[in-house]
Structures are given as C-alpha cells and as structure tokens.
Structure 1
Amino acid sequence: MLTFAAAVFFLIITPGPGVLSTAGVGAAFGREAGLRYLIGLFIGSNIVLIAVISGVTAALLADERLRLILFVASIGYLTFLALRIAFAGSKIAFIQRRSPPGIPGGITLQLINPKAYAVNTALFSGFGFLPENLALEVTLKLLIANAIWIPIHLGWLALGITLQRMNLRHATQRAVNIAMALSMLFVVALAAYSQM
C-alpha cells in the first residue's frame, strides 16, 4: 500500500496539464476561481478513474480509429495549451483567458488529458496489495489516490497565486512560462511515444 501511495504522489506531482493549468488559473484569476476549476479537475479525474477501473476506457480504445481520433485530439489540444503558455509573454498566467474556465473547464481538461489515463491505468492495473479482496483494494486505492491528489493540486494552485503576487521581473516571468510549456510538451511527447 505504501508503494502505491508513493507512486500516486510522484505520478501526480510531476508537471502535467492538470497541475500546470491549476497553477495558471490561480495566477490569472486567484483563489476562488482556482478552487472552482480544481473542483472540475477533481470531478474529471474521478470520471477518468471510474472509466479506467470499469474497463470503459479499454473498450473505447480497442477501436483503433477511435483511439487515433481521441489521441490526436488530446495531443493537439495539449500542444495548443503549451504554446499558449509559452507565448503568454511576460505575465505569469500560463493560460490567457478573459474569464476563468470554472468547473466545466476542469472536467473537460481531465477527460482529454492523456496523462490522467496513463497514470490511472498504471496505478490501478499494478501495485496490487490485496489480491484476496479486489473490491477492497480498489476502494482503498481510490481513497488513497484522492487523498494525495487534493493537497498536491491545492499546492499547485497556491504556487500559481504566489508567483503572481511576487511581481517577478518580466524576464523571470517569461522564463517560468517557457519552463511550464516545456514541461507540458514533455508530457505530450511521452504520451505520443507511449502510443508508438
């Protein structure tokens, strides 16, 4: 169980679309908007968890054409987000918008986030610790994953808010945006590589 918890921590804390966009919404719109977006991410993350656990994801991805369409759409959207972050200029907001994405935006991002599917598939298909009681193991995994997911995402939200309040020099803000965009592109590249 401790190995599973450690895997959850390290797989979730690494920069990906969910945590980076959480920091971005916090930087651009503040705490309240960030918390609403985080609720959406949480709901979306659990929808992905249920889809992976129930086998719905496996059934959908069994169709090569549908898998290719979903993969291209996800990779395209995440690349678009990474480019928007990279070219946000000297203002740390990661994603420039006129209004916060809210709960629907968080749900949508998680549903097309290839990292969410890859992480949850790895976590729930491996790291077994109660082979004699699979239902209890899955329940405990859900509780552990969510107990770790929440503070990590709250931490990224706080990071985004803090970065905005620091009033960093323009060059530093631009460097942060580029580093975040490169992190997201790295996740996109890993997702693309995993499909080869």
Structure 2
Amino acid sequence: MIQFALAVAFLIITPGPGVLSVAGVGAGFGLRAGARYIAGLFVGTNLVAIAVVSGLWAALSTVPYLTTALLFVSVAFLAYLALRIAFAGASIAFNRALKQPGAADAVFLQFVNPKAYAVNTTLFAGFPMGFTDPATEIAMKFLIMNLIWVPVHFGWLWLGITIKRLDLPARTQRRINYLMAVAMMAVVAMTLLAGGIAGA
C-alpha cells in the first residue's frame, strides 16, 4: 500500500500538463477559475480510471490509429490551453475570444490525454496490495489516488494564485503566464520524445 501511495505521489507531483495547467489557470485567472478547472480535472481523471479498470480502454486501444489520433488531439488542445494561459489579461484584440479555461476544458483534457490512460493503467495493473477481493483492492486504489490527487492539485493552484497575488507589474505577470504556457508545452514535448510517463 505504501509503495502504491509513493508511486501515485511521484506520478502526480511530477510536473505534467495537468498540474502545470492548474498553476497557469491560477496565475492567469485566480481561485474561482482554478477551483472549477480542478473539479473538471478530477472528474476527467476518475472517468479515465474507470475506463481503464473496466477494460474499456484496453478494447478501444486495439482500434487502429486511435492512440495516435488521441496524441495529436491532446497536443493541439494543450497548445490551445497554453495560448489561453499565455495571453490571460493581455490587451490583444483576439484575446477577447479566449475565455478562461473551465471544468469542461479540464474534463476534455483528461479524456484526450494518452498519458492519463498510461498512468492509470500502470497504477491499477501494478502494485498489488494483497487483497483477496479485487473489488476491495480497486476501491482502495481509487481512495488513495484521490486522497493524494486533490491536495497536490490544490497545491499547484495555490502556487499559481500566489504568483497572481504578488501584484506584479503587468509586463512581469505576462512573462510569467508565457513561462507557464511554455513549460506546459515543454513537458509535453519531453514526454513525447522520451516516451515516458509524467504527472497527469
């Protein structure tokens, strides 16, 4: 159980599109928007976990080119989210069309994020806890994952909100937003190149 909890903590705390986008939403849009975004990520993460546990994802992953299509959609959507974070509060004409990311965006992010499926597959397929009843083991894993997932994501939101509350000059705040957006895309690029699993 401890080994599983440590694995969950490592995979979630490691900067990935989910936690970085939470910090970016906090820095660019504040607490209320960040809390809504986390709620969407939470729903999306658990829906992905249910798809993995139920075997639905295993069945769908046999569809030719589905994972590749998800990868391209995921990268495109993350680029769009990064754009919205980068130009939060900027007085640029096209910025009016870029609404703050909400719960639906976060759910969709997890739905199209191949890493979310990979992380959940790793956690649920591995790290046996020794329960004789598979349902009990799955329930315990869901409980432990969510008990770690929620405070970690609110920690990243707090980081973003703290940056916003520093009342930095507009130019500095924009640069921080740009940095958040670039970091999101850099993590995606590094994950794609390495073929590894970063925090979901």
TM-score range, shorter chain: 0.7 to 0.9
- Matches for 1:42-191 after TM superposition, within 5 Å: 42-82=42-82, 98-130=98-130, 132-168=132-168, 170=171, 174=175, 177-178=178-179, 181-182=182-183, 184-191=185-192
Name 1:16's counterpart in structure 2: 16
- Superposed CA offset, 1:18-63 (max 9, x none): 1111112112221112111111111111101101111111111111
| Percent of matched pairs sharing the same residue | 49
**1:121, CA displacement in angstroms?**
1.3
The 8 Å contact of residues 85 and 178 in structure 1, kept in 2 or not, is answered as: no
Any stretches of 5+ residues in structure 1 without a counterpart? none
Q: TM-score, normalising length from structure 2?
A: 0.81
Structure 2 SS opposite 1:190 = helix
Contact persistence 2:87–2:177 (CA under 8 A): no
Per-residue Cα deviation, 1:136-186 (whole angstroms, up to 9, x for no partner): 111100000000000011111111110111234646863674366235423
Residues 37 and 106, structure 1, Cα contact 8 Å, conserved in 2: yes
1:113–1:26 Cα change, 3 Å: same
TM-score for both structures, normalised by structure 1? 0.82
Deviation at 1:64, TM superposition (A): 2.2
Provide the aligned C-alpha RMSD in A.
Answer: 2.9
Task: Check 1:89–1:101 CA distance in 2 against 1; reply closer, same or farther (3 A cut).
Answer: closer
Q: Is the 8 A contact 2:81 2:101 kept in 1?
A: no
CA distance in structure 2 between the partners assigned to 1:146 and 1:96 by the alignment = 35
96-105 vs 152-161, which moves further: 96-105
